Structure 1
Amino acid sequence: MITGASRGVGLALAGVFAEQGWDVIATCREGAANSSLGELSRQFPGQIRIETLDVSDAASLDALTGSLDGLPIDILVNNAGITHRDTQLGSLDYDAWRAVLEVNLLAPVRVTEALLENVVASDQKKIVAISSSLGSISRTSSGNYFYRTSKAALNMAMRSLAHDLKERGVTIALLSPGYVDTDFTRGVGGPKVSVRESAHGLFEAMTAMTIADSGRFFRYTGEDLDW
Structure 2
Amino acid sequence: MATILVTGCDTGLGAEFARQYAKDGHRVIATCLDPAADKETSATTGNIEVEKLDVTDHAAIEALSRRLKHDEIDILLNNAGIGRPHPPFGETDYVLWQRILQTNLIGPMKMAECFVEQVGRSELKMMAFVSSRMGSIALNNSGGSYAYRSSKAGLNMIVKTLAVDLAPRHICVLALHPGWAATEPGGRVAVAESVAGMRGVMQRAGRHHTGSFVTYHDQPLPW
Shorter-chain TM-score tier: over 0.9
Which residue of 2 is the match for residue 202 of structure 1?
Answer: 198
Q: Distance in 1 between matches of 2:178 and 2:87?
A: 23
Q: Residue 91 of structure 1: CA displacement?
A: 1.8
* 1:162 lines up with 2:163 in the alignment: yes
Q: Relative to structure 1, is the Cα distance of residues 163 and 36 closer, same or farther in structure 2, using a 3 angstrom cutoff?
A: same
Q: Relative to structure 1, is the Cα distance of residues 32 and 134 closer, same or farther in structure 2, using a 3 angstrom cutoff?
A: farther
* 1:153 lines up with 2:154 in the alignment: yes
CA contact (8 A) 2:101 2:147 kept: yes
CA contact (8 A) 1:16 1:203 kept: no
* 1:223 lines up with 2:219 in the alignment: yes
Q: Distance in 1 between matches of 2:161 and 2:121?
A: 21
Q: Residue 88 of structure 1: CA displacement?
A: 1.7
Q: Residue 90 of structure 1: CA displacement?
A: 1.9
Secondary structure at 2:61 match in 1 = helix
Q: Residue 66 of structure 1: CA displacement?
A: 1.6
CA contact (8 A) 2:7 2:14 kept: yes
Q: Relative to structure 1, is the Cα distance of residues 203 and 33 closer, same or farther in structure 2, using a 3 angstrom cutoff?
A: farther
Which residue of 2 is the match for residue 138 of structure 1?
Answer: 138
Q: Residue 144 of structure 1: CA displacement?
A: 0.7
Q: Distance in 1 between matches of 2:215 and 2:6?
A: 18
2:199 is aligned with what amino acid?
A: F
**How many pairs are equivalent?**
218
Q: Residue 32 of structure 1: CA displacement?
A: 4.7
Which residue of 2 is the match for residue 127 of structure 1?
Answer: 127
CA contact (8 A) 2:35 2:42 kept: no
Secondary structure at 2:6 match in 1 = coil
Give a deviation string over 1:102-153, Cα, whole Å, max 9, x none. 1000010000100000000101100000000100100112111110110001
Give % identity: 38
Q: Residue 34 of structure 1: CA displacement?
A: 4.2
Give a deviation string over 1:83-103, Cα, whole Å, max 9, x none. 232422222111110110110
Which residue of 1 is the match for residue 30 of structure 2?
Answer: 26
Q: Residue 207 of structure 1: CA displacement?
A: 1.6
Q: Residue 30 of structure 1: CA displacement?
A: 2.8
Give a deviation string over 1:35-88, Cα, whole Å, max 9, x none. 211111xx22xx101111110011211221121111000000000000232422
Name structure 2 gaps, 5 residues minimum: none
**TM-score, with length taken from structure 1:** 0.93
Secondary structure at 1:76 match in 2 = strand
User: Which residue, 1, 5, 12 being the options, matches 1:8?
Assistant: 12
Secondary structure at 1:115 match in 2 = helix
**TM-score, with length taken from structure 2:** 0.94
CA contact (8 A) 1:84 1:146 kept: no
Q: Distance in 1 between matches of 2:83 and 2:16?
A: 19
1:20 is aligned with what amino acid?
A: D
2:188 is aligned with what amino acid?
A: K
1:226 is aligned with what amino acid?
A: P
Q: Residue 31 of structure 1: CA displacement?
A: 3.6
CA contact (8 A) 1:6 1:32 kept: no
Give a deviation string over 1:147-198, Cα, whole Å, max 9, x none. 011000100111001001001110001001110000xx32xx4x61000000
Name structure 1 gaps, 5 residues minimum: none
Superposition pairs of residues 38-53 of structure 1, within 5 angstroms: 38-40=42-44, 43-44=45-46, 47-53=47-53
The alignment yields a C-alpha RMSD, in angstroms, of 1.2
